[in-house]
Amino acid sequence: MKRSFHSLWGRALVLLVLAVPVGWAGAAAPPAESKAQRFTLANGMTLIVKPDRRAPTVAHMLWVRVGAMDEVDGTSGVAHALEHMMFKGTPDMKPGEFSRQVAALGGRENAFTSRDATAYHQQVPASRLEAMMQLEADRFARNQWADDEFVREIEVIKEERRQRTEESPRARMFEALNAMVFQASPYRRPVVGWMSDLEAMTPQDVRDFYQRWYTPSNAAVVIAGDVDALQVHAMAERIYGRIPARAVPPRKPREEPAQAGPRRLDYRAAADQALVALSFKVPRWSGGEDAASQDALALTVLSAVLDGYSGARLERSLVQGTGRGGKRIADSASASYGLMGRGPQLFMLVAVPAQGVSANTAAAALRTEVTRIAREGISEAELQRVKTQWMAGEIYKLDSVFNQAQELGSYWVQGMDVDTGERLMSRLRQVSAAQVQAVAQRYFSDEQLSTAVLVPDPSRREAAPPATPRPALSRH
């Protein structure tokens, strides 16, 4: 699966701008002429170019606005399966040849699938960009493979599910929580797919998904690095622009119904420690000036105040035991918020109870920290620390052309403009302490709460099965 982003790219964006120490003095900001530019090719494909002349390298990404949320019941995991099969050839290229040719160009490559999108990325010397474009355009337009290639690869995908989900009690619990939180939204399905769907999947299921969604007007090429935007535009028009245009199929709305009270899941498994996760339905950021988007920005700050830096509130109060109760509650505690996505977003609070502490006590402690902010607010010092780290993070991310390309592609998936990153940071800096207190008061009632508790149950420990060869997980 390369890297399967289980709708965490929004959290990754927030973590990227929060993870840099205060006062870090990274590379200087690029000049104004390196602003990102967006073009539309003759066939409807989007091209986004972000010049960065500091090193003779370039990140090349192909984004397709299709992910697990576009699947239908019975074929969960097909978007991710197609990502694997995109490395299996074209009429002129044998399975695995794509990766070999990228390596021959002096590059490295990978791909990932999320709920919202599928992305293929490479980093190559700037002088080899045209050759890289030709390789990617060929497989986007002419992906082709034999049935026996799929039969082998689906076993790799099933093994991936076993190792990353089924053999991890925590992963299984979060999967079950997700399916409980969302009832109508396609976000309820795992990106990798349910095992029964993988076992029933056919080569034609994957080919049909490819034919339906891999069309130029549903894709974007994002280039960041040592390039000239107009030259890249001409190159892309010549290489990608000749792919025949097709209409993007209509997408039916699948809105999540309003939750009308708390939900709870006790997930019993052969785990060593308990774990508690509290999930609240909250608004997402749409990029606009509406009230929901303003609340989304404040929720981002709230998440950072709780768990955005070393020694933040959750760590101090629950893990270090320096809160008002003076008792160590958890071995770890975290807060996360997706911020944006094509589907509904969640604010999550998670804790691993310390020895002798019940899951209910840990859950109550998590909620207490939010309640305290709702009652007392946050200090200006906390607010400024978060904003200072965001500014440092804005500098930090410029050191990676891949990070720049990934951010631009992520915004495109959401239907946003190339200046979204700048606008987002500007608006986050304007969030006040009063707004953070207001969202803490508004969104954390039982009405929108779903709780999952991982309950250690030794009786569910199974005897180790006889050792048999298992498919090796590969990058593709």
Backbone angles phi, psi at 369, to 5 degrees: -65, -40
Active site residue 83: yes
Question: How do 219-225 and 46-51 pair as beta strands?
Answer: parallel
Nearest CA to 339 out of 46, 54, 10, 52 is that of: 10
C-alpha 158/C-alpha 189 separation (Å) is 16
C-alpha 409/C-alpha 62 separation (Å) is 8
pLDDT at 464: 58
Model pLDDT for residues 90-99, shown as the tens digit of each residue: 999 999 999 9
Residues 6+ apart with CB under 8 A from 59: 121, 122, 123, 222, 223, 224, 225, 401, 402, 404, 405
Compute the mean pLDDT over every residue in the chain, rounded to the nearest whole number.
90
Q: How many angstroms separate the most distant Cα atoms in the chain? A: 68
The strand order across the sheet containing 37-40 reads 37-40, 46-51, 219-225, 57-64, 118-125, 108-113
- State yes or no: pLDDT of 476 exceeds 60: no
Start-end of H helices in 308-429? 313-314, 359-376, 380-397, 401-413, 420-429
Instruction: Return the ∠ at Cα 6 (arms to 12 and 209), rounded to 5°.
Output: 130
Model pLDDT for residues 63-86, shown as the tens digit of each residue: 999 999 999 999 999 999 999 999
The partner residues of 219 in beta bridges, in order of sequence, read: 64
CB burial readout 20-34, b (16+ within 10 A) else e: beeeeeeeeeeeeeb
Model pLDDT for residues 198-240, shown as the tens digit of each residue: 999 999 999 999 999 999 999 999 999 999 999 999 999 999 9
Model pLDDT for residues 257-313, shown as the tens digit of each residue: 999 999 999 999 999 999 999 999 999 999 999 999 999 999 999 999 999 888 899
CATH of the domain spanning 31-239, picked from 3.40.1410.10, 3.10.20.740, 3.30.70.1150, 3.30.830.10: 3.30.830.10
Could you tell me the pTM of the whole model?
0.90
Calculated CA dihedral for residues 72, 109, 174, 317, nearest 10 degrees: -140
Provide the 3-class DSSP secondary structure of residue 86.
coil
Say which amino acid occupies 328: R
Nearest CA to 87 out of 65, 51, 67, 62 is that of: 62
In the chain, CATH 3.30.830.10 sits at 31-239, 263-458
Neighbouring C-beta atoms of residue 109, cutoff 10 Å: 23
Model pLDDT for residues 299-312, shown as the tens digit of each residue: 999 999 999 888 89
Task: Decide yes or no: CATH 3.30.830.10 for domain 263-458.
Answer: yes
Say which of 71, 83, 369, 407 is annotated catalytic: 83
Nearest CA to 277 out of 454, 456, 452, 450 is that of: 452
Tell me the two tokens of residue 54. 């500091």
Map tokens 């803490």 to a residue: 440
* Contact between residue 341 and residue 410 where contact means Cβ atoms under 8 Å apart: no
Tell me the two tokens of residue 274. 């308990």
Map tokens 């990029």 to a residue: 287
| HSE-CB for 80 with a 13 A CA cutoff | 32
